[in-house]
Every structure is written in structure tokens, then in C-alpha cells.
Amino acid sequence: MSNLLQPHEADWYEASARERVAGLLDPKSFVEFVGPEQRAMSPHLAQFDLTGAFDDGIVVGRGRLDRQEVFVAAQEGRFMGGAFGEVHGAKLLGLLRAARDGAGRGGPRAVLLLLDTGGVRLQEANAGELAISEIINAIAQVRSAGIPVLGLVGGRAGAFGGGGIITACCSRIVVSKHARVSVSGPEVIETNKGVEEFDSKDRALVWRVCGARTRYLTGGADCYVKGSIQDFREAAIALMAHAPPFELATLTAEQQRLAERLERFGDCRDAPEIWRKAGLPQPERIAEITDDAFLAIQRPTGADHDAR
Amino acid sequence: MTLDEVLASLFPSGHQVERGPSGTLHGTAKIDGQGDVTVVGIVGGTPLGVDGAILLAGHVLAAVESGGRARIVVLVDTASQNMARRDELLGLNEYLAHLAKSLALASAHGHRIVSVLFGHAAAGAFIAAALSSQSLVALPGAEPSVMDLPSISRVTKLPLEQLKELAKTTPIFAPGIEPLFAIGAVTETWTADQPFASRLATLLRQPVATSDLRDRIGLERKGRLLAHKIAERVAAEAAAHA
């Protein structure tokens, strides 16, 4: 990142987890929990001849967003692909539990999850997988306590595997044009099902299937931003004010929303087929147009919703 | 064990469980002394995709909507999540999350939920169908995993033989009931000589869990030594800074 840029002007994609947190929150408001000086590192990587990180690839703490108290967790996609290991996952779990326990007692106004992850860290696969399940449970409890959980995605690693599932458990989701959100990565599908099923080298195809524009237009994300840290900050401030509650009515509406998506688009194999069925103009070009032109498109019916 | 054997051994007092599309199951079963329980499931080694997940979530939400706090048994013999371009294009992450959230909501509404794993479950399907309940039982023949060792070998670039040796000393990455029991993911492991029906009845009678104790259990079983301590330390620092 250039030293000439102020933190919030920097590009989210290029920034480190700490730079994202610094630029996202009000200046100098961030207080880290279990910081790198405590060296809470993975004890499992050494047996794979891998070097650990003093923060195990995730930064957690509290700060202020637009003068409101928030909790924040940011994954570092450049360490082990931002993957969930035992310590990494436990730091996020502890943060979510603290948010839940603080509800109504001066706790945070919202929890911000800056996801940048390939999913489970295979060197500690069992611990990472269970951490993801624990985090999903904890997100449900935080939301039940009336605290919105916002997922922000736009890093190098995207949000894959359990990270994709966690994203869709959030109350609101912000994506930048670089964001990719999926469960199985394209390479995994190609390895298991063959190149005819998914050519992971076809970058344009990968973006159409997993990318931010597809997620935003189908209702898998609530806000699409161009990609500066400031863009994410403004989106988070706006979305924090109105988040769907975690209750039966919300999930019943999500059931209907996702069932309708299958009915309308269930036989589609590529994004332009969806846009054509949805009646969007020039469906073949949606992946290529500028961000401004993309943001001028009216989203298909049902893509803007509280059913999450 | 076959599905019919599993159903007969879990529900000897009778059940009306029917197979639906995409490998799903739905119905009710009788548990002595507890009345009817709701049964849902994904079976036949079917990968869990968008079509199966939406059906299962619908059954769970219908149980919540009916208001009776029926106990829910989730039968699991799946594979991984369905690895297909179509499913990812349609937003499989949302469908699996929706199923996990529906089960979490049912817990919050007072439904006691037990998953019974009698076949495969891996990766995203393991999270959404097996780990999202309050207790997970592994029956004989259950094969839970995050990823198989050959795939881990490919990604970590460590020879398979070396991984197999490592797996003898740590439960942290290897597939199977034992390591997943040790870290706290599997609640109970049942063996063939035990009466499944009475064990299930006992488990279903337990109060609805209001907090997730798996990090504590993993510590007690010495399979996951750090998770609980780190989570507690973060929470303590958060409280100190409040």
C-alpha cells in the first residue's frame, strides 16, 4: 500500500487485515484482543514444517464505526489463505460470545466480519471444521440477541468453503467487485468432477459463477461496492442501521426466496442465462461493464430483501 | 447399516418416514414415553446440494412453525456438498447456511435436536447436516470427515504415508469417528451391541442446550487443547475493555 494514501482511501483487495481494520473504523479507535504480542499461535503447523503467525491469521477486537461501538474480526488472506484453524477459529468464537454476552449491557452495536478465507485449514482440518460450526451457532445467538452481524468480502482469498457458509449466516453482506463467495472452489470441483464440469483456469467463468456481481444480482449479497476501504466503511455504516432479525419470519421468507430462485433459475449453468431469464438488458455483457454501469442496473425482483 | 436397519433399531415402536427427492427423508417416529418425534435426513450417500438443503430446511422450519417443540432427529448418510458448477452458480453457500440457520433457530425455539450419522458426511455437508444439531451420534460404520487424506496430502504436499503416521499422534486433522470424538464434534459413539432405541430416548430427554459446549468437551477429551482457552481469553479481554 502506498504511503501517500490515507488508510481509508486504500484498496481493500491490496490491504492487509490490519490496514482494513484501521481504515474501516473511526481513526485510532481500534483495541485488539489477544494481540500478536501474546503469540497465540497454531501449535499444529510445525509438524507440517510450516511457520506460524503471531496472530494465527486473524485480528479481533473492538472499535468505533461512525462513533458507535462495534466488534470486528479480520482474516489475513495472505497467511495460509486466511483459513480457519484451531486458534484462528477460537478467536472469532470468543469475540462472538463476548458480543452476545454484552447485549443490552453496553455491548457492541454490531459485529463486523472481514472475511478473507479459503475455508478450513487442512493441516488442522477437524479443529477448523468444528470452529466453523461453532461460529455459525454463535452468529445465530448474536443475531438473536439483537446485534447485527455484517459480512464484508473483497480480499484475495474470497470466502470459500465454510467461509462461504458463514458469509450467508450474516445479517447483511457487502461485496466488492473482487469478491468471490462459494462453497467448493473451482479447483476442487475440477479435481473431483473434471474440467468439463468446471474449468478453473477460465477466470471469466470463475467470476461469473462465484463472483460478486452474480451474488449481488441474485440476492446473495446486499451491497456491491467498487473496492476502496472507504466504500466498505460507508456501506457498513448504512447497513448497520437496518438488519433483519434472526427469527422464524426471516427464515420462512428466506426459505421462500431460495425456493423461488431454484424454480426460476434452477436449470441455468452460467450467469448470463440467469440474467436473460431475469429480463436484464445485455445479459452477455454484465460481467464486463464498468462498476458505474453495473450499479445502474436495476436488480431483479427479490434480490433486494430482508430474508437472510 | 442400511437405512431400514437404522430406522428399525432407532424406532422399534414404529415410524412413518418417507423418502423424498434428492436423497431426503421426512416423517415422524414414536419414542417410548416421549410421543412423536420429527425425523428428517439426507441418505443414500447423496451429496448435499441446493435441492436437498432447501427441502431439509423446509421440514425443519415447518416443525418450528407448528409450535409443538417436537424433538427432531436428523439421519445422515451423505457425502460432501454437491460439487457442481450449477450449485455454486445458484449460491450453494446460502442454501447450506439456510439449513444450518434453520436448525439453530429450531434450537432457539426449544426443539431438542440429535443428528445420527450412519454413513459418510464430509466438508460442507458435515457442517450443515451433522454438526448443526445439539448432539451428534456416530453409529457403527459412520465415516465423518472434513477431507480425505489423499486430498489433504495433495494440498499440504506431504506424502500420504507421513500423514498416516502423523494421524496416530494427533486427532486434529485425520478423518474418522475417533479423532472427531476427541475434539468434541461427535457427542457419543454407539457400538452394535448397544440398544440404540433406549440410548436415543435418553439423549432426546436431555434438556435443550442453550450454549455450545463443544470447545469444553474437546478440552476434557484432550483432543482440542487450545480452542476453549483462546475463546475464553478473547471474551475476558472484551469484557475488560467494555
Residue B50, chain A, CB below 8 Å: the answer is: yes
Q: B127 at the A interface (CB within 8 A)?
A: yes
Asked whether residue A3 carries a pLDDT value surpassing 70, the answer given is no
Residue A8 has pLDDT above 80, yes or no: no
Cell 481494520: give the residue.
Answer: A21
Q: Is B215 on the interface with A (CB under 8 A)?
A: yes
- Asked if A123 and B156 come within 8 Å (Cβ–Cβ), the reply is yes
Nearest CA in chain A to B180: A126
Q: Hey, of B145, B170, B172, which one would you mutate to test binding to chain A, going by the most A CBs within 10 A of its CB?
A: B172
CB contact set of A244 (below 8 Å; sequence gap of 6+)? A171, A172, A250, A306, A307, A308
Average pLDDT, chain A: 95
CA dihedral (B199, B200, B202, B208) positive or negative: positive
Rounded mean pLDDT, A111-125: 97
The complex's ipTM works out to 0.98
> Which of B83, B171, B234 is the closest to A60 by Cβ?
B234
**CB distance from A68 to chain B under 8 Å?**
no
Cβ separation B183–A183 shorter than 8 A: no
What confidence score (pLDDT) does residue A104 get?
80
User: Which residue of chain B is at minimal alpha-carbon distance from A44?
Assistant: B172
In a domain, residue A63? The reply is yes
A213 pLDDT exceeds 50? yes
Q: Check if B224 contacts A (Cβ < 8 Å).
A: yes
Domains of chain B: residue spans and CATH: 3-140+190-210 (3.90.226.10)
Task: Report CB contact under 8 Å: B131, A102.
Answer: no
pLDDT tens per residue, range A225-255:
999 999 999 999 999 999 999 999 999 999 9
Closest in B93, B146, B225 to A120, CB measured: B146
Q: Which of residues 266-295 of A touch B (CB under 8 A)?
A: 266, 268-271, 274
Chain B residue with minimal CA distance to A192? B83
Nearest to A90 by CA among A123, A117, A56: A56
A218 and B131 within 8 Å at the Cβ level: the answer is no
Give the whole-angstrom CA distance, residue A40 versus residue B165: 27
Give domain status of residue A236, yes or no. Answer: yes
CATH assignment at residue A12: 3.90.226.10
Assess if residue A171 is contained within a domain.
Answer: yes
Best of A113, A126, A167 to disrupt the B interface by mutation (most B CBs within 10 Å)? A126
Is residue A160 in some structural domain?
yes
Least trusted range by pLDDT, from A27-36, A109-118, A188-197: A188-197
Kindly state whether residue A296 falls inside one of the protein's structural domains: no
- Exposure string for A106-136, b = 16+ CB within 10 A, e = fewer: ebbbbbbbbbbbbbbbbbbbbbbbbbbbbbb
Q: Do A106 and B242 touch (CB under 8 A)?
A: yes
Which backbone phi and psi does A152 adopt, to 5 degrees?
A: -120, 120
Among B93, B171, B231, beta carbon nearest to A181: B93
A274 φψ region: left (φ > 0), alpha (ψ -120 to 50), beta (else): alpha
C-alpha cell at A108: 457492541
**Number of residues that make up chain B:** 242
Kindly report the nearest CA distance between residue B14 and chain A, in angstroms. Answer: 30
Residue B241 has what pLDDT?
77
User: Nearest-CA neighbor of B17 among B77, B75, B65?
Assistant: B75
Whether residue B183 lies within 8 A of chain A, CB to CB, comes out as: yes
Q: Which of A124, A166, A248 sits opposite B65 (nearest CB)?
A: A248
Per-residue pLDDT of chain B (242 residues; tens, 9 = 90+): 999 999 999 999 999 999 999 999 999 999 999 999 999 999 999 999 999 999 999 999 999 999 989 999 999 999 999 999 999 999 999 999 999 999 999 999 999 999 999 999 999 999 999 999 999 999 999 999 998 898 888 888 889 999 999 999 999 999 999 999 999 999 999 999 989 999 999 999 999 988 999 999 999 999 999 999 999 999 999 998 76
Contact A161 B64 (CB under 8 A): no
pLDDT at residue A1 above 50? no
- pLDDT at residue A5 tops 80: no
Cell numbers for A148: 447485527
pLDDT at position B155, please?
A: 82
Average pLDDT over every residue of A206-211: 97
In a domain, A112, yes or no: yes
Domain that holds residue A35: 7-181+220-246
Nearest by CB to B239, which of A98, A120, A169? Answer: A98
Secondary structure class of A294 (helix, strand, coil): helix
Look up residue B169 and give its three cell numbers: 499422534
Which residue among B146, B158, B212 sits closest to A126, beta carbon to beta carbon? B146
Please choose, from the candidates B69, B60, B28, B31, the residue with its C-alpha nearest in 3D space to the C-alpha of residue B196: B31
Residue of B50, B60, B85 to mutate when probing chain A, most A C-beta within 10 A: B85
What is the tally of structural domains in chain A?
1
Give the integer Cα–Cα distance in Å for A122 and A125: 4
Q: Which residues of B touch A107 (CB under 8 A)?
A: 242
Is residue A298, in this structure, part of any structural domain at all?
no
**Which three cell numbers mark B143?**
465415516
d(CA A157, CA A178): 10
Residue A7 has pLDDT above 50, yes or no: yes
Q: Which of B89, B152, B230 has its CB closest to that of A87?
A: B230
Whether A299 is covered by a domain: the verdict is: no
Measure Cα distances from A234 to A63, A216, A223, A225, B154 in Å.
16, 17, 11, 9, 41
In the structure, what pLDDT confidence band is assigned to residue A301 with cuts at 50, 70 and 90? Answer: confident
Across the interface, do B50 and A40 touch by the CB < 8 Å criterion?
Answer: no
